[in-house]
């Protein structure tokens, strides 16, 4: 059986690309027209068009180049093309065909006979068209059509290529006739065209639905005793076009088709230059009633984007006719109108709109569309600019609905169509007119907006059929459509500006954003379309869109240098490049560019800054009796071994250097000051800066001696500082001391007359080898400047006393610390206010002030007895001993430092 089928395939006529397989079961068809089953009682194919009861005018034939009077018996053979959608069932047959192939291709008639295998054939002729319009039309050659078993089938039974606008197909028939359904669809398009896959048409429910574009072939056979059926008869030719008195057999008014199979011409590209001649085609059908302002505003967006460019605008409109007849306040203004200046662009806007009020620039439509009687005729709307003497770079069709009319007015006044339904015929004719416009080099842009139907997926097929991919806009809202259209129209003239910033600071180059903190500049650009010279803030490196090629832009910048970098000064700021070209133009006072080109124009701005760093060293001694100038203040370098640092600069109080390297680590030292002062030291690891003498407090200055308190770090706590770029730092060391007040208190408990003034007190450092000097004060029971001494904080001292009176009999008592209120009179009698220092050594913390007293007691005199007994000799000997002891005691009292030392805490 497979061999027999293969023989039949090979015997078929020219254009056959595959074997006739068993009838395909159609997939779920997108078309609302169901496919009839393969039997002798086929129901007529439902058309996705108005029912026969609707009044549909007879289809007027479309004039193409005259085809041959009779179709050739055997069209020229064509090379079969591989189908990307071949089914698995085709593979075996295709392999068999390849095996049976010979070096010599059999003649078309021989191949037909082999395929027929003794069967008869029916011939199908389809007229294929390209363009139409009042100027005539052209037939299209090279288009490939095929016969399919259903509208959703992907593999054709047989194919043909059009020649002189006619595509001839042979269908094998067993017997004299068949009612098996066969459909004609496009397979491939010639170069420069694309096939019509599906279209949106009105279904039986009055809604726009998607329908696969194709037609059942044959003739309808109707009789009073049975429903109409489709029939193919052996030996008969069926045509999509009328000949003589014979009307079309299919693709006729009954199918709501023009009888000519269309292909979509490729949309020419928009010109790459700035400036276009644009035809604006406005839909003024009744459905646009109430949307006049939106339609005018959308048109304004086109004019706005073209304003200032060497462009022209021509205005066309359509309804049932072109121009529309039931519209007041607007006419066709087909003559090209220039829009290169605002004044000329306003004249174009005035053709269809006017200012809505005197206080704003808002415009409103000045035309009114009739609320009845205007249909939608895409065909006439597109054919008007196609027939016009002018040529256009682009044509913009603004519509809110699918076509309901096509062609010129008939004898009865209206074009063909019923004004309520969209059929294949309306879209076919729109494709022909769009093709004619494209043939003039016009890029067609279809804009569907205003309602959900025209913005839907089904209507998309119709909009694409008259334009092409990338040239179709669908939006339910006119504002959104206007925005998208504006972006499309300005793409060739659109210009954007970006300004890149570079800093050169002390010879080092930085990109904007990487420069040292506190040095910055703000960019200002003139706004797109603003010729007043005013500028607005913009971001460095970012594109600002909205400019038009041919316009100019003004650049300005505002430099800012932080108060913490007072040593930085701007040397110059220049525009150093425009695009790839180098230039040198000062930015001081602003810069006005030359005319911008389409696309992105990048400017390069370079600012040169010179910075000087300063460092001042000061000493703050926390005692008014100290002289800060006694300290030597120094800054040392910090090499890899910080102990080997070299002096960078040094001096006394307030020494300053103006040549410190930015970021260099310096060890700070305060030396040669009074030994009773100690510098604050919060260093966690002094070995890192061994030449530093302690912690410093560094603050930024504004160059005038004040510290603004800005946030840049200053350092100093670890004994080092890094002076930031352009900074003026003031680093201060704080040194502190302590005060000890030494008092003398005597207790004459044995009737003595010892007084505090009979003594002097000494404070001697306890550290061995200390270079600190001892402190001596006069004996006194009351605090005074003479009894107060400065001592090194936290340093231990021992307190001793010395008698200033010879042979003074006393003994040294306790060393005590005063715990009362220091500012009040010292009360020596209240023992509760005095605390004995147990270890006899004092140590005062930094900034502290303590009061101590050293207590001394008198010694009771010796008394001789008044009665005798042993005689005078024992008394003389005892008295001599007592005198000797008293002399020794007196000697000890005269040298207390060697005889009685007391420690005090």
Report the DSSP pairing between strands 678-679 and 599-611. unpaired
pTM for this one?
0.53
Are 565 and 662 a contacting pair, CB within 8 Å?
no
Q: What is the DSSP letter of 705?
A: S
Q: Which two tokens stand for residue 89?
A: 């069932």
Regions of the chain with pLDDT less than 70: 1-119, 132-137, 360, 411-413, 489, 703-713, 769-770, 862-880, 886-887, 889-905
* Token pair 């984007």 in the structure block, residue: 305
d(CA 90, CA 18): 7
pLDDT given at position 875 = 53
Q: What share of the chain is helix, strand, coil (3-state, %, to 5)?
A: 15, 35, 50
Distances (CA, A) of 797 to 182, 685, 738, 791: 125, 29, 12, 9
Evaluated on CA atoms 99, 100, 104, 108, the torsion sign reads negative
Give the angle 678-792-759 at the CA atoms, nearest 5°. Answer: 160
Peptide bond before 323: cis, by omega within 30 degrees of 0? yes
Closest by CA to 7, choosing from 93, 114, 110, is: 114
Any long-range contacts for 42-46 (C-beta under 8 Å, 24+ apart)?
42/179, 42/181, 42/229, 42/230, 43/227, 43/229, 44/220, 44/227, 44/228, 44/229, 44/230, 45/181, 45/216, 45/230, 46/204
* Token pair 């790459």 in the structure block, residue: 272
Which residues are 609's β-sheet partners?
Answer: 505, 570
* Token pair 């009789």 in the structure block, residue: 223
Which residues are 364's β-sheet partners?
Answer: 354
**What is the b/e burial string over 430-450, where b = at least 16 CB atoms within 10 angstroms of the residue's CB?**
bbbbbbbbbeeebbbbbbbbb
Q: What is the DSSP letter of 343?
A: H
* Token pair 């334009």 in the structure block, residue: 467
Report the DSSP pairing between strands 738-747 and 849-858. parallel
- Give the dihedral of Cα atoms 147, 153, 156, 157; nearest 10 deg: -70
Report the DSSP pairing between strands 198-202 and 208-212. antiparallel
Are 613 and 601 a contacting pair, CB within 8 Å?
no
Q: What is the DSSP letter of 757?
A: G
d(CA 582, CA 493): 24
Q: Which two tokens stand for residue 747?
A: 């207790």
pLDDT given at position 821 = 85
Give the angle 114-115-121 at the CA atoms, nearest 5°. Answer: 115
Q: What is the largest CA-CA distance in the chain?
A: 193
Give the angle 423-427-428 at the CA atoms, nearest 5°. Answer: 105
Beta strand segments in 366-412, E:
368-369, 394-399
Give the angle 403-407-412 at the CA atoms, nearest 5°. Answer: 105
d(CA 174, CA 232): 11
Which residues are 276's β-sheet partners?
Answer: none
d(CA 225, CA 397): 50
């Amino acid at each position: 059986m497979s061999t027999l089928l293969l023989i039949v395939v090979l015997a078929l006529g020219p254009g056959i690309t595959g074997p006739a397989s068993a009838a395909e079961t159609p997939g779920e068809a997108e078309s609302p027209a169901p496919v009839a089953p393969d039997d002798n009682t086929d129901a007529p194919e439902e058309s996705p068009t108005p029912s026969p009861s609707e009044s549909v005018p007879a289809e007027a034939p479309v004039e193409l180049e005259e085809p041959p009077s009779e179709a050739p018996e055997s069209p020229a053979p064509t090379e079969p093309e591989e189908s990307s959608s071949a089914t698995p069932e085709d593979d075996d047959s295709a392999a068999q065909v390849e095996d049976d192939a010979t070096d010599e291709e059999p003649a078309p008639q021989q191949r037909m006979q082999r395929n027929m295998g003794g069967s008869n054939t029916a011939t199908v002729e389809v007229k294929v068209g390209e363009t139409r319009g009042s100027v005539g039309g052209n037939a299209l050659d090279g288009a490939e059509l095929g016969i399919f078993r259903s509208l959703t089938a992907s593999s054709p039974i047989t194919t043909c290529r059009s020649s002189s606008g006619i595509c001839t197909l042979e269908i094998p028939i067993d017997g004299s006739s068949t009612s098996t359904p066969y459909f004609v669809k496009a397979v491939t398009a010639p170069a420069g065209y694309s096939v019509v896959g599906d279209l949106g048409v009105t279904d039986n429910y009055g809604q726009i639905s998607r329908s696969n574009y194709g037609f059942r072939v044959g003739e309808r056979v109707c009789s009073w005793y049975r429903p109409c059926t489709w029939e193919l008869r052996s030996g008969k030719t069926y045509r999509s076009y009328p000949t003589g008195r014979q009307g079309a057999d299919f693709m006729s008014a009954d199918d709501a088709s023009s009888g000519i199979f269309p292909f979509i011409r490729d949309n020419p590209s928009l010109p790459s230059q700035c400036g276009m001649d644009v035809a604006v085609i406005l839909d003024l059908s009744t459905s646009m009633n109430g949307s006049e302002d939106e339609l005018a505003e959308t048109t304004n967006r086109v004019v706005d984007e073209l304003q200032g460019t060497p462009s022209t605008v021509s205005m066309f409109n359509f309804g049932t006719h072109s121009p529309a007849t039931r519209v007041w306040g607007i006419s066709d203004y087909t003559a090209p109108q220039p829009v290169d200046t605002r004044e000329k662009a306003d004249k174009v806007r005035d053709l269809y709109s006017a200012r809505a009020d005197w206080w704003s620039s808002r415009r409103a439509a000045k035309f009114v569309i009739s609320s009845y009687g205007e249909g939608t005729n895409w065909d006439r709307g597109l054919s008007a600019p196609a027939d016009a003497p002018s040529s256009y770079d682009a044509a913009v069709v603004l519509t809110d609905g699918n076509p309901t009319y096509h062609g010129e007015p008939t004898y009865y006044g209206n074009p063909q169509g019923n004004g309520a339904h969209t059929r294949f015929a309306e879209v076919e004719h729109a494709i022909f007119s769009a093709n004619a416009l494209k043939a003039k080099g016009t890029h067609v842009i279809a804009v569907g907006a205003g309602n959900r139907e025209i913005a839907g997926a089904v209507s998309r097929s119709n909009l694409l059929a008259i334009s092409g991919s990338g040239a179709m806009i669908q939006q339910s809202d006119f504002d959104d459509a206007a925005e998208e259209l504006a972006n499309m129209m300005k793409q060739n003239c659109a210009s954007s500006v970006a300004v890149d910033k570079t800093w050169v600071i002390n010879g080092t180059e930085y990109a904007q954003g990487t420069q040292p903190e506190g040095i910055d500049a703000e960019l200002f650009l003139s706004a797109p379309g603003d010729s007043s010279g005013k500028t607005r803030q913009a971001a460095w490196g970012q594109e600002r869109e909205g400019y038009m090629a041919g316009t100019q832009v003004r650049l300005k910048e505002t430099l800012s240098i932080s108060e913490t970098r007072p040593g930085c000064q701007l040397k110059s700021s220049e525009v150093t490049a425009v695009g790839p070209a180098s230039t040198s133009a000062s930015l001081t006072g602003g810069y006005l560019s030359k005319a911008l080109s389409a696309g992105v124009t990048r400017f390069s701005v370079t600012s040169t800054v010179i910075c000087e760093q300063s460092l001042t060293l000061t000493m703050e001694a926390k005692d008014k009796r100290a002289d800060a100038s006694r300290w030597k203040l120094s800054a040392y370098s910090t090499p890899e071994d910080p102990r080997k640092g070299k002096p960078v600069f040094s001096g006394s109080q307030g020494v300053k250097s103006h040549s410190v390297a930015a970021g260099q680590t310096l060890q700070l030292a305060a030396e040669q000051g009074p030994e009773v002062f100690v510098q604050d030291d919060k260093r966690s690891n002094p070995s890192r800066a061994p030449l530093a003498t302690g912690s410093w407090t560094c603050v930024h200055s504004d160059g005038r001696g004040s510290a603004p308190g800005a946030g840049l770090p200053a350092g100093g706590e670890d004994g080092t500082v890094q002076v930031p770029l352009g900074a003026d730092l003031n680093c201060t060391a704080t040194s502190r001391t302590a005060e000890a007040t030494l008092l003398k208190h005597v207790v004459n408990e044995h009737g003595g007359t010892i007084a505090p003034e009979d003594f002097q007190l000494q404070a001697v450092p306890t550290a061995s080898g200390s270079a600190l000097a001892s402190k001596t004060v006069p004996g006194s029971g009351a605090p005074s400047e003479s009894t107060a001494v400065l001592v090194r904080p936290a340093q231990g001292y021992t307190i001793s006393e010395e008698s200033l009176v010879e042979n003074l009999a006393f003994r040294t008592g306790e060393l005590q610390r005063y715990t009362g209120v220091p500012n009040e009179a010292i009360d020596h009698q209240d023992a509760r206010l005095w605390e004995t220092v147990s270890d006899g050594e004092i140590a005062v913390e930094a900034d502290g002030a303590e009061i101590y007293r050293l207590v001394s007691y008198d010694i009771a005199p010796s008394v001789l007895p008044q009665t005798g007994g042993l005689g005078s000799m024992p008394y003389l000997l005892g008295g001599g001993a007592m005198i000797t002891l008293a002399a020794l005691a007196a000697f000890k009292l005269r040298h207390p430092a060697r005889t009685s030392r007391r420690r005090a805490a």
